[in-house]
Structure 1
Amino acid sequence: MAYRETEKMRKRKAEARQRIIDCTYECVTEGGFRSARITRIAGLAEVATGTIYRHFESREDLFAEVFRLATEKEITKVTEALNTPGNAAERLEAALRQFSERALRGPVMAWSLLAEPVDPKVEEERLAYRKAYADLFEKTIRHGIEEGCIPEQNARQSSTCLVGAIAESLVGPLSPTHTNQTTNKNDPLVDAIIRFCMQGLTGTRR
């Protein structure tokens, strides 16, 4: 008779998988992907290391899954900011502020998502992450052009420039050598990033 997995067994497997993901996420939040060692994750999740590889083909697959989950949270927050009241330029400004302030409040995770050296599978997710932001910004820029609050321009190219500018502006302050200095004193940095991005987008000095 063929083995048939019971509902109880399926539930236990799903719970173990979720614990592995949650503990990996915790490790990345605390010390980046470099600190997420399989032995440590297994200990935190209270599973054998072999159990991890029954749920994920490789460490890279596990990290890619955690990267996707982390970026989905950030993209959701930016999307919420883009849906706030106001014209397109005001909504873009709110989204840029949301992105920057959240990054500075969680510098280790933000560094991991933006710039930490990672495996190729995770790097693929990073590229998808940047594209998702560019898609959101492009849509809003097009709305702004239609409204007249943003000058006529190549919306796709401008959205890509916005993503690059904000990411590169944050890399230094978020790097491991600077994270201990991340406090409310970074508010001027957020303002400077937004001023640069919005002046470049609208051509209006802010």
Structure 2
Amino acid sequence: MLKVTLLASTPDATAVVATAAHRCVSLDDAEHYLLDTDPLKQAAVVRRAVGMGHTSVLEHASFTFDISGVSRSLSHQLVRFRIASFSQLSQRYVTGPFGYVTPPSIENDNGFHELYIDLMERIEQVYQTGIDKGIPAEDARFVLPNATETALIATVNARELHHWFNLRCCTHAQWEIRDMANKILDLVKKREPVLFEIAGPSCVGGTCPEGARGCGLIPK
């Protein structure tokens, strides 16, 4: 089962981002601004910078997540986001137990679900036979499917998270990575509400990149 935990984040992230924005327009001492400026003023500075499109200041805030109970299919999609750091469970050093993720569409089709379970069990048998026969784990893993369960640590800055949410919170995103993105969005909104108050799918900002394929939330 998908689980996302926010392990760590930049302390006083909103203040740090506001200080970065302030530095762009002022010669005042940055440390003094960080420590002594009222939080409401800092929030206003962040909103103004982001509203003007100066989102680079968001890169000064980072967040580290533990993500587990997801498929290798999801992790293949996730690593396409290049401005992030990932540490993933190794199939070379960890050889069991074999877990897998079942898509809801398969789970809801009784006949196909049975075939799916049979296939997963057969794959597990073949994989374990290879391990027992001394086949190196990095070779035995060649039989494992995209459904194989994995876990990873991801560290991402706030600007890139906004990009994640634009693409992966959309109803057109693949279901598993959309569920993950929404869980991450909930976590960071609670931790740093100012930095993520307008975060979400692209339509939150009033535009839909899907065009005719849009879900209908934004009028054509």
Q: Give the TM-score normalised by structure 1.
A: 0.28
Specify which structure has the higher proportion of helix. 1
State which structure, 1 or 2, has the greater radius of gyration over its C-alpha atoms.
2
Specify which structure has the higher proportion of strand. 2
